[in-house]
Amino acid sequence: MSQNVFVSETCRLNLVNPILIQGLPGLGFVGKIAVDFLIDQLKPKRIAELYSTYIGLPDGDMGVRVELDGTFTLPKYEFYASAETEPNFLFLTGDIQPVAWGQYNVANSILDFASKQGCKMVLCLGGYSVQGRRMDLVYAVGDTVDTVEELKQLQGVQIAQSGAVKGAFGVLLGLAKQRKVKCFGLLGATPGTHPDLRAARNVLKVLVGVYRLPIELTDMDRKVEEMEARVKKFREFQSALPQQDQPSQTDVPRGYIS
Amino acid sequence: MSQNVFVSETCRLNLVNPILIQGLPGLGFVGKIAVDFLIDQLKPKRIAELYSTYIGLPDGDMGVRVELDGTFTLPKYEFYASAETEPNFLFLTGDIQPVAWGQYNVANSILDFASKQGCKMVLCLGGYSVQGRRMDLVYAVGDTVDTVEELKQLQGVQIAQSGAVKGAFGVLLGLAKQRKVKCFGLLGATPGTHPDLRAARNVLKVLVGVYRLPIELTDMDRKVEEMEARVKKFREFQSALPQQDQPSQTDVPRGYIS
Amino acid sequence: MSQNVFVSETCRLNLVNPILIQGLPGLGFVGKIAVDFLIDQLKPKRIAELYSTYIGLPDGDMGVRVELDGTFTLPKYEFYASAETEPNFLFLTGDIQPVAWGQYNVANSILDFASKQGCKMVLCLGGYSVQGRRMDLVYAVGDTVDTVEELKQLQGVQIAQSGAVKGAFGVLLGLAKQRKVKCFGLLGATPGTHPDLRAARNVLKVLVGVYRLPIELTDMDRKVEEMEARVKKFREFQSALPQQDQPSQTDVPRGYIS
Amino acid sequence: MSQNVFVSETCRLNLVNPILIQGLPGLGFVGKIAVDFLIDQLKPKRIAELYSTYIGLPDGDMGVRVELDGTFTLPKYEFYASAETEPNFLFLTGDIQPVAWGQYNVANSILDFASKQGCKMVLCLGGYSVQGRRMDLVYAVGDTVDTVEELKQLQGVQIAQSGAVKGAFGVLLGLAKQRKVKCFGLLGATPGTHPDLRAARNVLKVLVGVYRLPIELTDMDRKVEEMEARVKKFREFQSALPQQDQPSQTDVPRGYIS
C-alpha cells in the first residue's frame, strides 16, 4: 500500500468470497445513493476506513468535517461488510472522488484490502448520461465477453457499447480486470442534472433480482415519488416566471458515463 | 519521515508529556498570533526546525528570506518547548501553510516529531468565520464525544456543530485523531477580514484559564485597543468618502472555519 | 520500474536484438499512423501492455474505454513484436501521450522493457511542422554524429538542424541516448493541421527502403488519395461560402516538431 | 539521490576542496552570463551532467533540443571543474530553472554531487532588481553573520538587507546552509528588463578580486559597450515614434531578487 493511502481496520469479520460493491459520487450520484441504501437496509458492519492525501473535503480542499456533536473526521472512504447474506458483500462508500493523479493509488489500495478479505468479484455502481432515451434502463459493462454474456441475461439491463467510464468507477474496474479479478459495472440511465433517486432505484432493482437481496424497495419508491413531485412543482413554478438565462437541459454531453 | 520533509533538532530538552500547540496562518491569523504571543510570553526554547519542499515563501514561491543582517533562511516551521511550565508545552509556529498536496506529509512529520518528544495531546488554534453573531466567543471541536464534553465546561467556549476546518489546522487534528492521540481545536470567532488580535486574545484567555498560564494578557489588550482605534479611524475616513466599489463585508462565506 | 507504471507481458517471444519503433499521437498523428500501419501489415504479436497513472483517456481524464462488445479497458500502450522479420522489431503504439510530469517515468519503463527483450536500437516516428516548404521530405535526428552521417545517406531524408522535439518522441530518444542505446528519429514534414496520412506514408517509404520491409504501400497510397480528395472537396465547398472567421492556416508555429 | 534526478559523470578529476559556483537563468540572466563567461575563460573540464524530470526545455515543455549537426540532447545542467586554479572550482550551468516542486530535489542532488567532489563552500550568482538606485553595485547575502562580515570587506559589494532570493539561487543556498556548508550569494544590481551583461560584469569583477582569477574582463567590457550602444540606438528610434502602449520600465517589482 502506498504511503499516501492508508486503510485502518476497525473490526474483523470472517468473510467468504465477498463481492466488493463500490458507489462513489458521480453522474447523478447514482452509485453513491444505491450503495448507501444497501448499507441502510442490509445493516452490514463497518470494518475499515480508508484515508488518503488524495481524498479531500467535498469541495476539494484539505481538512476535516465538523459533526453535529462537535467532533471532527478526516475525509474517508468506509468499508462495510455483511457476513450473513449469501453471497457476502463488502461495500465501499464515500463523499468524494480521489484527485485525478491519485485515482490509481486509491483504487489499488481498495483492491489490496478487498483481496485480503478474500474478494473474488468487483461491482461498481454509477450513472449513465442519456437524453430523451429510455430512462428506466440500466446499462452494464463487463471485464470479459463471458461476463458481458451473463449481464445480457439480466432483466432491464442493456449492454453499453461505446464511450468511456470515467473516474473512480472506471479506474477500479480497469485495475480489477488488470488483476484478473472478475468485475462489472451497472450504470443507471440518468439526465445527470440532479441526485437521481429513480436511476439508483433501477440499479438496485437489478441487484435485488440477481442476488435475491432481502431489501424493501418501497422505501426508495416513496422517496422517488416525493422527489419527483418536488421537481415537478419547481418546474411549474419556473415556467410561470418570465424566461431568462435558463441553463439548457442538454448541457450534459450525450453518452458521458460515470 | 518523508524525504520531502525534514526536521532538524537544534537543542534537546527533557519533556514530560508535552502538549503540542499549533498556530499557523489561517482565517484572521488567529492561531498564529496566539501561538506567537505564547512564545513571546513563556519564553520557551527553540528545539527544532522543520523544512520542506511543501513549504514556500509567504507568496508561495520557493527560495530563501533575506534578513536585516544579510543572512538568509529557508521557509521553515519552528518548534519551541517549555519544560518548566506545568504541563510542558511544545509550540509549532510558521509563516505559511503547506501546499495542498503536502498537507498530510507535513502533518505526519509534525506528529512523528511530537510523538518522539512524548507528546500525548494536540491542540490547534485558529479562527472561525462568523458575521453579525457574538464576536467574543471561542468555538471548539474535539476528537471524541468525551473530549467535547470537557470542552463544554470551559467558560466562553461554544461547541462548533457543522462546517469544515480547513488546511493545516484540520489536517493535523484529523491525523492526530487517526493515531488515537487526544486532540482538540479552539477557534476564535472572527470576521476574518484582517489579522484579528481580539479573536486571538479570546482564544488565549481560554488557554490561560485551562492551564493557569503565567501570562499577562494586558499587553495583548493594549495592542487590541490600538488596533481597533486605528480600524475605527480608517472606517470614519472611508465613510466620509463618496461611495464606490467597496468590497462587501460579507465576502467571507458564513460558517467557513480555518 | 516505478510503481506508477506497470508492464504486463501477455506472451513471450524469442527476439534477437529487436529495434524498438515508437509511434504515439503527436503533430499530424504521423508517428501513430505509421506504426499502426506497420502493425497492420507485418502482423507482429502483441507481447505486452503498459498501464500507468500517467496515461489517461484521450481527453486526459482517468477511466476506462468501453468497447463495442460491452467490455472495457484501461488506457494503455501496447508492445507488438515480430521475430520473423530481419531485423526483429518491437513496436510501441498508444492513443495518448503521458502527462508532462510522467514522461520520464514512462519512457524509462519502456526502455527497461525493451532492454529486457534484447533491444539495442530505438527509433521514434513523428511529424515535423513546416509551412510552404517541401512537403514530401522526412526530417531526421540522431543520437551521435555517426548516426547522423548514416541518416544522411537515406533517400528523401533531410537532417533537422534546430528546434526541439517535444513530448514522448523527444523524451524516449533523450533517455535512450543517455543509456548509450543507439537511437534516431524520423519526422514526416506536415502542416500539422489534420491527421496526415501522406506524411506518415513518406516516413514509411524511408523505413521500407532501410529495412527492406515486405510491406505494400499501395493500400496507404489509396487512403492518401481518398483523404486528399475529401479535403479538396471540402476546401472548394468552403471557398464558395462567404468569408468569415476562417482559422488561419499559419496557426501552427513554424519549426515546431513532435 | 532521488530517482527523478540523475547525475552522470563524464570524467573524473582530483579536486581539492573546490568551491561550487552556480549560475542559472534568473533576473537579468546575470548568474548564467557570469558563470558561462568564467567557463569560457578558465576552460575548466566538463565532469558531469545532471538530468531530471524536473528540468524541461526553456519553454517548460518536456523533450530534447535539436543541435545544428542533427543530434539531440535532453535538457540538462552541466558541471565543469578546474583543478588547476587555486582554489579549485566546480561550476554549475544550465538553461532553465527546475519546476517549483522539483527545486529541493534538484538542489539536494547538486549538493550531494558537490560534496562527493570534496566541496566545502557554495557560491550562487544572480541578479538583484533595483530601479533608479546605483546600478554598479553587487549585493551579497551570507549563511552566517561571520560570512556577512567577510562579504562587507569586499569592494563594490553591499549587503542585501531584506526581501527574498527566489528560485534555484535561493534554494541551493538555503539547503547548503542547512547542511552547514559555508555559502553565500552575489547579486548584480539590474533593472532585470534584458539579459544584463553589465550586471554580470560587476559580479565577475568582485570574483576576480576575491580569487585573483586569471581572467580578462576586457572581452566582457567590449560586449557590454556593444550591447549598450545597441540599446541606446533602439531607445532613440523608439522615442522618435508616436507614443503608444509602451510597457512601463517599472514593471519589475522593486526589491525582487533572483
Report the residue from C2, C141, C167 with minimal CB separation from D72.
C141
List residues in chain B touching D: CB distance below 8 A. Answer: 3-4, 8, 51-53, 56-57, 59, 61-74
Q: What per-residue confidence (pLDDT) applies to A256?
A: 42
Residue from D91, A256, D3 nearest C3 by CA: D3
CA distance B93 to chain D (A): 19
User: Quick one: what percent of chain A has pLDDT higher than 90?
Assistant: 73
Query: Is residue C127 pLDDT above 50, yes or no?
Result: yes
Residue contact D103–B57, C-beta within 8 A: no
Radius of gyration of chain A (CA): 19
- Greater confidence (A23 vs B242) lies with A23
Residue contact C141–D53, C-beta within 8 A: no
Helix pair B30-42, B197-211: axis angle to 10 deg: 50
| pLDDT tens digits, C200-226 | 999 999 999 999 998 888 888 888 888
Distance of CA C138 to the CA centre of its chain: 13
Radius of gyration of chain C (CA): 19
Q: What per-residue confidence (pLDDT) applies to B135?
A: 79
Classify residue A126 by burial, with Cβ atoms within 10 Å: 0-12, 13-18, 19+. buried
Report the residue from B51, B66, B70 with minimal CB separation from D164.
B66
Chains that touch A (3 or more CB pairs under 8 A): B, C
Give phi and psi for D140, each to the nearest 5. Answer: -135, 150
CA distance C131 to chain A (A): 36
Residue from C112, C108, C117 nearest C90 by CA: C117
Confidence of residue C241 (pLDDT cuts 50, 70, 90): low
Query: Is residue C234 pLDDT above 50, yes or no?
Result: yes
Question: Which range, A211-215, C111-115, D10-14, is most confident?
Answer: C111-115
**Whole-number Å distance between alpha carbons of D118 and A116:** 50
CA distance B106 to chain A (A): 11
Q: Which residues contact C168 (CB under 8 A, 6 or more apart)?
A: C22, C24, C26, C97, C98, C103, C106, C107
Helix pair D30-42, D197-211: axis angle to 10 deg: 50
Measured CA to CA in angstroms, residue B127 lies from B148, B177, B229, C211 at distances of: 18, 20, 22, 71
Report the residue from B140, B175, B257 with minimal CB separation from A70.
B140
Cell of A128: 449513465
With beta carbons under 8 A apart, name residues in chain B contacting A71: 141-145, 147-148
CA distance A125 to chain C (A): 14
Assess contact for A198 and A134: CB atoms under 8 A: no
Query: Which residue from A minimizes the CA distance to C53?
Result: A104
- Average pLDDT of chain B to the nearest whole number: 89
- Greater confidence (B242 vs C188) lies with C188
- Greater confidence (D245 vs B212) lies with B212
Determine the residue among B54, B147, B158, B165 to mutate to test chain A binding: the one whose Cβ has the most chain A Cβ atoms within 10 Å. Answer: B165
Residue from C19, C151, C15 nearest C83 by CA: C15
Q: Do chains B and A touch (3 or more CB pairs under 8 A)?
A: yes
Residue contact B72–D166, C-beta within 8 A: no
Residue from A76, A74, A82, A75 nearest A38 by CA: A82
Beta bridge mates, D150 = none
Query: Is residue C252 pLDDT above 70, yes or no?
Result: no
Cell of C82: 515480430
Residue contact C64–A170, C-beta within 8 A: yes
Residue with cell 534546430: C162
Chains that touch B (3 or more CB pairs under 8 A): A, D
Query: Is residue C49 pLDDT above 80, yes or no?
Result: yes
Report the residue from D164, D177, D185 with minimal CB separation from B57.
D164
Average pLDDT over residues A135-157: 95
Give the number of other CB atoms < 10 A from CB of residue A242. Answer: 4
List residues in chain D touching B: CB distance below 8 A. Answer: 2, 100-101, 103-105, 140-145, 147-148, 151, 159-167, 169-171, 173-175, 177-178, 185, 257-258
Average pLDDT over residues A123-130: 94
With beta carbons under 8 A apart, name residues in chain A contacting B170: 62-64, 72
- Greater confidence (B243 vs C87) lies with C87
Average pLDDT over residues C224-250: 67
**Whole-number Å distance between alpha carbons of D157 and D160:** 9
Query: Is residue A251 pLDDT above 50, yes or no?
Result: no
The reply to whether the predicted model has a pTM over 0.90 is: no
Assess contact for B137 and B36: CB atoms under 8 A: no
Report the residue from B61, B67, B71 with minimal CB separation from D166.
B61
- Average pLDDT of chain A to the nearest whole number: 89
Residue contact D148–B69, C-beta within 8 A: yes
CB pairs under 8 A between A and B: 90
Q: What is the DSSP string of A192-240?
A: -SS--HHHHHHHHHHHHHHHT-----HHHHHHHHHHHHHHHHHHHHHHH
Average pLDDT over residues A69-89: 96
Determine the residue among A71, A95, A99 to mutate to test chain B binding: the one whose Cβ has the most chain B Cβ atoms within 10 Å. Answer: A71
- Greater confidence (B253 vs C44) lies with C44
Query: Is residue B251 pLDDT above 60, yes or no?
Result: no
| pLDDT tens digits, B45-65 | 999 999 999 999 999 999 999
Q: What per-residue confidence (pLDDT) applies to C185?
A: 98
Average pLDDT over residues A185-201: 92
- Greater confidence (C103 vs A232) lies with C103
| pLDDT tens digits, B65-98 | 999 999 999 999 999 999 999 999 999 999 999 9
With beta carbons under 8 A apart, name residues in chain C contacting D51: 174, 178
Peptide bond into C87 cis (omega under 30): yes
Residue from D134, D235, D139, D251 nearest D192 by CA: D251
Cell of B130: 462568523
CB pairs under 8 A between A and C: 89
Average pLDDT over residues A18-34: 96
Q: What per-residue confidence (pLDDT) applies to D256?
A: 42
Peptide bond into B87 cis (omega under 30): yes
Residue contact D143–B71, C-beta within 8 A: yes
Q: What per-residue confidence (pLDDT) applies to B247?
A: 40
Query: Is residue A85 pLDDT above 50, yes or no?
Result: yes
Query: Is residue A210 pLDDT above 50, yes or no?
Result: yes
Q: What per-residue confidence (pLDDT) applies to B243?
A: 54
Residue contact C163–D66, C-beta within 8 A: yes
| Strand D164-166 versus strand D121-129 pairing type | unpaired
Confidence of residue B3 (pLDDT cuts 50, 70, 90): confident
Q: Mean pLDDT by 10-residue block, N- to C-terminus, for chain D (258 residues)?
A: 83 96 95 95 96 94 96 97 95 96 96 97 94 83 98 95 93 97 97 89 94 87 83 76 47 41
CA distance C57 to chain A (A): 8
Residue contact B166–A72, C-beta within 8 A: no
